[in-house]
Amino acid sequence: MKNYFKNRKILEEGHVYSKSMEHDACGVGLIASTEGKKSRKVVEYGINALKAVFHRGAVDADGKTGDGAGIHLEIPYDFFAEKIEITGHKHDGSEICVGMIFLPRNNYEAQENSRTLVESELTKSNFSIYGWRQVPVNPKVLGEKANLTRPEITQVLFKHNDKTLRGKDLERKLYESRRKIENKAIKNQIEGLYISSLSSRSIIYKGMFLAESIADFYLDLKDEKFISRYVIFHQRFSTNTAPSWDLAQPFRAVAHNGEINTFKGNYNWMKVHEQEMESPLFNDMENLKPVIQPGASDSAALDNVFELLNISGQPAPLAKLMLIPDAWSKKSKTLSKDHQQLFNFLNSTMEPWDGPAAIAGTDNEWVIAATDRNGLRPMRYTITKDKIICAGSETGMIELDEKKIITKGRLGPGEIIGVRIEKGKVFTNNQIKDFLAKEYKHFNSQIVELDKKLIIKNEKPIFLEMN
């Protein structure tokens, strides 16, 4: 904090900063490799970028309790293989699955019921459990309020008994298992159970600490074995809901800076869509309902729907265009016909979740950064010769050699930038939309335009003229 005030004073004296120009908003962004290789550098950049946007979150009077901060990154294979050995099991080379789970810290009965429920549902889904791991944390960096509400933070380590089950198929099995656990926890009135992540690909570390304390609180993050090809980070500024450990971000698919102004309508429409959901990819569609979990904030609800689209096979860029679409018109002369047809099709499948927004998200195949149709939240990006892309709410979040910068800029209204995680290839806004237009524009022919079918002539006014 001393450095913050010192630097702010320098900026004020240089007439490049004015307190009157400040606006409150979350800090969000991503760091990713552009060569498809996991590295410690990506993780350290992600942690440092999160620390750099700490000022975008509120701080309690105790000086240590924050609105929420966290990072989303890939599961480090060697790190967790070592932890499996500690449980007394031998890792057989199968996919490592990790659940990051919050339990009620002071209710031991609820803790035991939660563990039993998790183990029971995973076993029923043909998973074998290696064991539970208490995540090493340092509560001394927490404020009084954060510590009072701190959950018991644990990890369940397990595998699927079918070694051939990998990738999206395994993630779907994990998703359906998690939804069954969540629904049964509500039915059995088990309070305080929250699954931050349950995946074979990625894991989320988050909480109500200050952003600058994340690696001091979660000691795992200091381990050199913690490597990843991407990191999504988020510093929360709580507006519509009170701060809590479970509502800290990133969520499982997106980190969201903004508000959903159409939330009530989106929530009700999702209830309608639930009645029509059908897919052979899942054992029982009823396990996935309700899609939006009870008590979810607007950002958490957006994540619920985004995740469902991802897990059912829609790539992250397409899910973004469905939920947070561009501003477009059939009469537009600047928008290509292919893009018009794409947006027309997407508009017919899902209602827009409108409001100012900047997001960073992943489906574990893509990692993306994007803005809403009005561009009301900032998102800047930099690509370097060091095979790194950095995108976030501000520029200068991490120290980069200016001589090694290939390109940098900002995302305009409705724009998106993405990286294919496996290869590390960067795709620009137009490249992503051109690709998706080729894949999906043909569905546009299935849309029936009612305005052309229902022609109304000589319609009489239904109001009385005033004298």
pLDDT recorded at residue 25: 66
Distances 357 to 378, 413, 428, 432 between C-alpha atoms, Å: 9, 10, 19, 19
pLDDT recorded at residue 21: 47
pLDDT recorded at residue 22: 46
pLDDT in tens, 415-425: 999 999 999 99
pLDDT recorded at residue 465: 59
pLDDT recorded at residue 366: 97
pLDDT in tens, 80-101: 999 999 989 988 889 999 999 9
* Of 57-61, 203-207, 210-214, minimum mean pLDDT range: 57-61
pLDDT in tens, 126-147: 999 999 999 999 999 999 999 9
User: What is the spatial order of strands in the sheet that 254-258 belongs to?
Assistant: 254-258, 357-362, 366-371, 416-420, 425-427
The Cα–Cα gap between 404 and 388 comes to: 10
- The answer on pLDDT for 231 being more than 50 is yes
Name which residue leads in pLDDT, 462 or 252.
252
Helices (H) and strands (E) in the chain — how many of each? 13, 16
Question: Please, are residues 258 and 357 in contact by the beta-carbon 8 Å criterion?
Answer: yes
For range 212-222, the mean pLDDT: 95
Residues in Cβ contact with 183 at an 8 Å cutoff, skipping those fewer than 6 apart: 287
Q: Which of 196, 69, 193, 233 is nearest to 143 (CA)?
A: 69
pLDDT in tens, 299-355: 999 999 999 999 999 999 999 999 999 998 877 778 888 888 899 889 888 999 999
pLDDT in tens, 370-424: 999 998 888 999 999 999 999 998 888 888 989 999 999 999 999 999 999 999 9
- Positions annotated as catalytic residues are 26
User: What is the spatial order of strands in the sheet that 230-235 belongs to?
Assistant: 202-207, 69-74, 230-235, 27-33, 388-392, 380-384, 405-410
pLDDT recorded at residue 449: 79
- The answer on pLDDT for 33 being more than 90 is yes
CATH topology of domain 24-446: Glutamine Phosphoribosylpyrophosphate, subunit 1, domain 1 (3.60.20)
Secondary structure class of 333 (helix, strand, coil): coil
pLDDT recorded at residue 24: 46
Q: What is the mean pLDDT of the chain?
A: 90
The Cα–Cα gap between 210 and 216 comes to: 10
Question: How large is the C-alpha radius of gyration of the chain?
Answer: 23
- Pairing status of strand 152-160 against strand 127-134: antiparallel
pLDDT recorded at residue 52: 86
The Cα–Cα gap between 418 and 404 comes to: 20
- The answer on pLDDT for 2 being more than 70 is no
Please spell the DSSP secondary structure of 56-100, one letter per residue.
Answer: GS-B-TTSS-BS-EEEEEE--HHHHHHHHHHTT----SSPPEEEE
Quick count: other Cβ atoms within 10 Å of Cβ 41? 16
For range 61-77, the mean pLDDT: 89
At 7, list the tokens.
């630097």
- The answer on pLDDT for 169 being more than 60 is yes
| Sign of the dihedral defined by the CA atoms of residues 136, 138, 143, 147, in that order | positive
